[in-house]
Homo-oligomer: A and B are copies of this chain.
Amino acid sequence: MNAPHRAVDFYFDFSSPYSYIASEWIEALAARHGRVVNWRAILLGATFQVTEIKSPVSYPLKREYTLLDFERSARFAGVPLRLPEKFPIATINAARIFWWLAAADPGRARDWARHALRALFARGVDLSDAPSLRALAVEFGLDGSQAQDVWNDPTWKAALKAANDAAIALGVFGAPFFIIDGEPFWGNDRRPQIERWLEKGAF
């Protein structure tokens, strides 16, 4: 009965370039080690409030480095990334669509996450713009009106808030964030440690 422990919990934010990069490798890495991935959309805005942290691009000096590092880290991972002109943007509506899909089909929610992250970070689609997000939902195969209803629906607003609260209660303070066998890993750059953990267990 250790099946629940075989999952990799993957917390991501739709507005986070490092989350996008990690979203491109976590599935294949987990699969190589017989693990499934539980995708969990969160809002960094919520964790930032609790931790009193700001976006890395909000601090002098760190801003310039981080803008460079987003793109270099993407190249290092072999992931196409072109930082959008508007950055960062509000992606709360994309996250509400995620949780609506997840209620019925987590695999479909994951596919939406990958589709929307790629749209934002490889094609420059502005997820904070309602018509653009609606068009992206249609491109993904959803009904545009329904998608818009979802992101305005108190049910899915509450679902996202509950997901944030649950993540924070587990110590999640940034994204991407991974919890594997109870062990927390923060950041796209923890990939080598995650690989070792999945290969050989706790170290």
A: residues with CB less than 8 A from B are: 47, 50-53, 59-62, 64-65, 68-69, 72-73, 75-76, 168, 171-174, 184, 186-187, 189-190, 192-193, 196, 203
- The residue on B at minimum CB distance from A64 is B171
B residues less than 8 Å from A65 (CB atoms) = 171, 173, 184, 186
B residues less than 8 Å from A60 (CB atoms) = 50-52, 173
Q: Are B51 and A196 in contact (CB under 8 A)?
A: no
Complex Cα–Cα for A51 and B50 (A): 20
Q: Are B76 and A192 in contact (CB under 8 A)?
A: yes
- Which applies to chain A's interface (DSSP): helix, strand, loop or mixed? helix
Tell me which of A65, A68, A168 has the highest count of chain B C-beta atoms within 10 A of its own C-beta: A65
Q: Are A171 and B61 in contact (CB under 8 A)?
A: yes
Complex Cα–Cα for A189 and B73 (A): 12
B residues less than 8 Å from A186 (CB atoms) = 65, 69
Complex Cα–Cα for A72 and B65 (A): 25
B residues less than 8 Å from A53 (CB atoms) = 59, 62
Q: Are A76 and B193 in contact (CB under 8 A)?
A: yes
Q: How far is the CB of A46 from chain B (nearest CB, A)?
A: 12
Complex Cα–Cα for A62 and B65 (A): 21
Complex Cα–Cα for A75 and B187 (A): 18
B residues less than 8 Å from A172 (CB atoms) = 61
Complex Cα–Cα for A171 and B60 (A): 9
9 A-B contacts (beta carbon < 8 Å): A51-B62, A52-B60, A53-B62, A62-B173, A65-B173, A72-B203, A76-B203, A187-B189, A192-B192
